[in-house]
Structure 1
Amino acid sequence: MWGSGFTAIEVGLDSLPPLLFAAFRFDTAALVFFALVVASGARLRPGSRDDIWLVLTTGVFLIGAHFALLFLGQRHVSSSVAAIVLSFAPIVTPAIALAVLPFHRIRATDVLGLLVGFVGVAAIAVAGGSLGGRFAGIALLFGAAVTFAFGSVLTQRFSRTLPLVSLQAWSMLVGAAILHVGSLAHPSEALSGVDWNGGAIAAIAYLGVVSTVGGFLLYFALLERVGPTNASLVSYATPVIAAVFGAALLGEPITVVMALGFALIAVGFALCQIRPLWQLVRGLWGSRHAPIEGGAVRVRGNEYVLEEPTLERSRVSTGQGYGPSNGRNGTAQPVADD
């Protein structure tokens, strides 16, 4: 859904000014999300100050600023190049977290990963030739990646009480408003200049409903099921899908330098996430239910210790929509990630 979205952006940019195009995308998504809130009966009104700050942070950074830079940048580069540059976001995240989050530590592998990933982005930019439009596009997309990483880290400072679907609805509305303001302020954008052809309408509908509503709902469901490290691997499937769709539908070339740049960015990510990735590999190769010392048990990579001799079987399983019980009466308590 996200990889093919870059192709839809490329199609829509042929007829629509970038900021207004992005605003229409999130207008559509906001309408769908608010309809889902009404249909599900979820609470719509924010219940705390953190809810309000979370809506503003998501709307301003993850949607408004991020997608403004993305749509402006993709005017100058192919859809596959745009997707590759945006995959830099998980690499720069640790460095931003160090500055924004208290008690966050950065390791040598994080610094090395950041440098390797930056070399990958630079290789793609230099391959485009002179300091012309392509370089400007890469710079804008790099800014989009950094903005997304900053917004993602900043959201960790707030605790959500608002249902996820309501949070998304408000965030889309805030983001769309920011994009509309940006479009009005942009000297070369005007609603009167929009070419309302079939391709433009289809691109708005596909991005708003499929890539945004469908993609965001699936991503957050995945995030809650497998955790942020595993879910962030989506960032490295997206450019591959974007390249395939771009080549098949738009005839965009896939060059050796693009592949090399993407490989360097992927290596940079692996260095930044070397510990959780190693835990993931160990979990995949190790036993699913291996007994360990001290009366504890390991279940799919998570280590639990028993409060009493019995283990509530119905609440232990992880990975099938259940989590470890936090109750009493002989239930398991998580003590560490293995």
Structure 2
Amino acid sequence: MTAKRDLLLFVALAIAWGTAFGAIEVGLATLPPILFAALRLDVATLLFVGAIAVLGLEWRPRTRGDVTAIAVTGGLMVGAHYGLLFLGQSHVSSAVSAIVLSLTPIVTPPLAIALLPQERLRAPAVVGLLLGLVGVVVIAVSGGSLGGQVVGVALLFVAAFVFALGSVLTERIQATLPVISLQTWAMAIGGGLLHGLSFAHPGETVPITAAAWTPATITALAYLSVVATAGGFLAYFVLLERVGASQLSLVNYATPVVASLVGWALLGESITLATIGGFGLIVLGFALCQLTTLWRLATPIAGYGPRRRSTAANGVVVGGNVYETGRETGRSPPVAPAAD
């Protein structure tokens, strides 16, 4: 991720997803959590349907893989994930919510081991998983009691787990639909499931009055649907194609920073040292889980890329490139670039 456009897009994605937790906090003040999550998906689905029409993309599922991918993505990565996220954040602050969800890349490797035979779990990843779990426990008890804080963190942990499970399961599915079409179906199905759960949930049966639709609530819903969901996923897919999943996974650790700053500056939320320490353990756990990938990404930046020696007696390696020193002039014309 060296191009300026990619860096700016990464920062924009981190801001869009990080500020989303603050918008959720605002909307939860007047709307029940499951219904709020369903409404967010409703508006985003309409926006994606418009994008499909404008771009002329194929939208009809044609294979069993398409149907399976829609069911897994809509049921787990959208429906269950967002429902648990909004329920969990109704018990904790936006910063805690974002931090616990950053556990997703840590719980993914053991699920991949269990479901994808070609995957192996190395010792550093095991230690990283344990550190991440310890970090979540530290955050859960940082509220000073075993009340709503623990309940909220537990719900958010399950939200991270089901998202990771869905992402691993989709690795085994051969779908033919374009990604935007697949996500549109997933959001529509996830929203429908959440509407059904909201209707059946005893805590959400109270009718929503006009007083609940405050300007702040409407703004929060619009921001979540347009900026965080539609705009955020668009930026995500562009970056996924340009920089790959390994570098893009780092956004999971930029969004909690943004969420914490927004919650502190605009919502008056406090950030305890225990919460910061728990986040540090989660980040360290992620680094151990992705040790090989992070090393491969960092070495070219630090100037420690692969090198090869010149076969010529008068060859010299500079910055990964092989040069042949001129015998008469002393100049060094390039021979061939080294493989990085």
For residue 207 of structure 2, give the secondary structure of its aligned residue in structure 1.
Answer: helix
- Name the amino acid aligned to 1:74: Q
2:109 pairs with one of 71, 78, 94: 94
Displacement of 1:286:
3.3
For residue 188 of structure 1, give the secondary structure of its aligned residue in structure 2.
Answer: helix
**Match in the other structure for 2:67:** 52
Displacement of 1:159:
2.4
**Match in the other structure for 2:223:** 206
- Is 220-229 or 18-27 further displaced after alignment? 220-229
For residue 204 of structure 2, give the secondary structure of its aligned residue in structure 1.
Answer: coil
**Match in the other structure for 2:293:** 276
**1:293 to 1:12, Cα distance in 2 relative to 1, 3 A:** farther
Instruction: Give aligned-pair identity as a percent.
Output: 54
**1:38 to 1:255, Cα distance in 2 relative to 1, 3 A:** same
Displacement of 1:227:
1.5
- Name the amino acid aligned to 1:140: L
Work out the CA distance in 2 between the residues paired with 1:200 and 1:61. Answer: 26
**Match in the other structure for 1:328:** none
Displacement of 1:161:
1.6
- Name the amino acid aligned to 1:193: I
**Match in the other structure for 1:197:** 214
**1:291 to 1:50, Cα distance in 2 relative to 1, 3 A:** farther
**Match in the other structure for 1:238:** 255
In the TM superposition, what whole-angstrom CA distance separates every residue of 1:139-163 from its partner, at most 9, and x where no partner exists?
Answer: 1011111111111111111123211
Displacement of 1:274:
0.1
Work out the CA distance in 1 between the residues paired with 2:306 and 2:99. Answer: 38
Q: Does 1:228 align with 2:245?
A: yes
**1:284 to 1:159, Cα distance in 2 relative to 1, 3 A:** farther
Displacement of 1:226:
1.4
5 Å-filtered alignment, 1:123-202, equals 123-190=138-205, 192-194=207-209, 195-202=212-219
For residue 118 of structure 2, give the secondary structure of its aligned residue in structure 1.
Answer: coil
Work out the CA distance in 2 between the residues paired with 1:199 and 1:164. Answer: 32
- What runs of 5+ residues in structure 2 fail to find an aligned partner? 1-15, 312-319, 321-338
Q: Answer whether contact 2:44 2:226 (CA < 8 A) is retained.
A: yes
Q: Answer whether contact 2:142 2:272 (CA < 8 A) is retained.
A: no
**Match in the other structure for 2:43:** 28
5 Å-filtered alignment, 1:252-331, equals 252-286=269-303
- Name the amino acid aligned to 1:281: A
Q: Does 1:2 align with 2:17?
A: yes
C-alpha RMSD of the superposition: 2.0
Work out the CA distance in 1 between the residues paired with 2:309 and 2:277. Answer: 42
Work out the CA distance in 2 between the residues paired with 1:203 and 1:140. Answer: 22
For residue 223 of structure 1, give the secondary structure of its aligned residue in structure 2.
Answer: helix
- Name the amino acid aligned to 2:123: A
In the TM superposition, what whole-angstrom CA distance separates every residue of 1:53-108 from its partner, at most 9, and x where no partner exists?
Answer: 11111111111001111100101110000000000110010011111112211111
For residue 128 of structure 1, give the secondary structure of its aligned residue in structure 2.
Answer: coil
Tell me the TM-score normalised to structure 2 length. 0.84
Work out the CA distance in 2 between the residues paired with 1:288 and 1:114. Answer: 29
For residue 127 of structure 1, give the secondary structure of its aligned residue in structure 2.
Answer: coil
- Is 280-289 or 222-231 further displaced after alignment? 280-289
- Name the amino acid aligned to 1:200: T
**Match in the other structure for 2:333:** none
Work out the CA distance in 1 between the residues paired with 2:227 and 2:53. Answer: 19
1:19 pairs with one of 31, 34, 37: 34
**1:191 to 1:275, Cα distance in 2 relative to 1, 3 A:** same
Tell me the TM-score normalised to structure 1 length. 0.84
- Name the amino acid aligned to 1:261: G
For residue 119 of structure 2, give the secondary structure of its aligned residue in structure 1.
Answer: coil
Work out the CA distance in 2 between the residues paired with 1:179 and 1:190. Answer: 13
Larger Rg: 2
**1:270 to 1:20, Cα distance in 2 relative to 1, 3 A:** same
5 Å-filtered alignment, 1:67-86, equals 67-86=82-101
**1:43 to 1:292, Cα distance in 2 relative to 1, 3 A:** farther
- Name the amino acid aligned to 1:178: L
